[in-house]
Amino acid sequence: MIHKQVINHRQTAWLVGSVLMTAMMISSLHKIVAVSKMDAWFSQIMPVGFAIVVAFVLAELSRAYPGKNLFEILFIVCGKWIGGLINVILLIYIWIILTLDIKGASEFFRETLLPRTPVEIILIVFVLLMMYYGRTSLEVAARVNEIYFPAYFILSMMLYFLLGNEYSVERIEPILSTGLGQIFASNIFPIGIYGDILLFGAFLHASTHPRLFFAAMKHGVLIVGFTVTILLLILLGVMGFTIASRLHFPIFILVQQIHVTDFLDRIEIILFSLWFPAFTIKVIVAYLAFLVGVGSFGGQQHYNALNLPSGWFLVVTSLLAFPSVQDFDTFLSYTLPVIVLIIQVPLLLFLYIHARFNRKMDTQVSIPKGTRLYRFYNSMVWIGGLALIGCFLTVVIGDLFLDKSVFAGLLTAIVYIALFFIALLASYGEMQALNHGKQKLAQSKQAGSFRQ
Helix, strand, coil shares of the chain, percent, nearest 5, are 80, 0, 20
The residue count of the chain comes to: 452
Backbone torsions φ then ψ of 358, nearest 5 degrees: -105, 15
Number of other residues whose CB lies within 10 A of the CB of residue 448:
6
- Separation between Cα atoms, residue 251 and residue 253, nearest integer Å: 5
Q: What string of DSSP letters covers 402-427?
A: S-SSHHHHHHHHHHHHHHHHHHHHHH
Q: How far is the C-alpha of 133 from the C-alpha of 280, rounded, in Å?
A: 10
Can you give the pLDDT at residue 445? 57
Cβ-contact 426, 434 below 8 angstroms: no
User: Residue 302 has what pLDDT?
Assistant: 56
- For 2-221+239-361, the fitting CATH number among 1.20.1740.10, 1.10.150.300, 3.40.50.2300, 1.20.1420.30 is 1.20.1740.10
Q: In 10 A of CB 354, how many CB atoms?
A: 17
Predicted TM-score of the model (pTM): 0.91
**CA 10, CA 428: separation in Å to the nearest integer?**
10
Per-residue tens of pLDDT for the chain, all 452 residues: 444 557 888 889 999 999 998 877 777 688 888 888 888 888 899 999 999 999 999 999 988 888 888 999 999 898 889 989 999 999 999 999 999 888 888 888 887 777 888 888 888 888 888 888 888 788 888 888 888 888 888 888 888 787 877 888 888 878 888 888 888 888 998 998 999 999 999 888 877 788 889 999 999 999 999 999 998 888 888 888 888 888 878 888 888 777 766 656 667 777 778 888 888 899 999 999 998 888 888 765 556 677 888 888 888 888 888 887 788 888 888 889 999 999 999 999 999 988 887 765 554 446 777 788 888 888 999 999 999 999 999 888 887 776 666 777 788 889 999 999 999 999 999 998 888 877 776 666 555 544 44
For the chain, the structural domain boundaries read: 2-221+239-361, 366-452
CA–CA separation, 438 and 150 (whole Å) = 25
For Cα atoms 91, 92, 97, give the angle at the middle one, nearest 5 degrees: 95
Among 177, 368, 358, 166, CA closest to 267: 166
CA distance 382 to 384: 5
Within 66-137, where are the H helices? Answer: 70-112, 119-134
pLDDT at 175: 82
> Which of the 8 DSSP states describes residue 333?
I
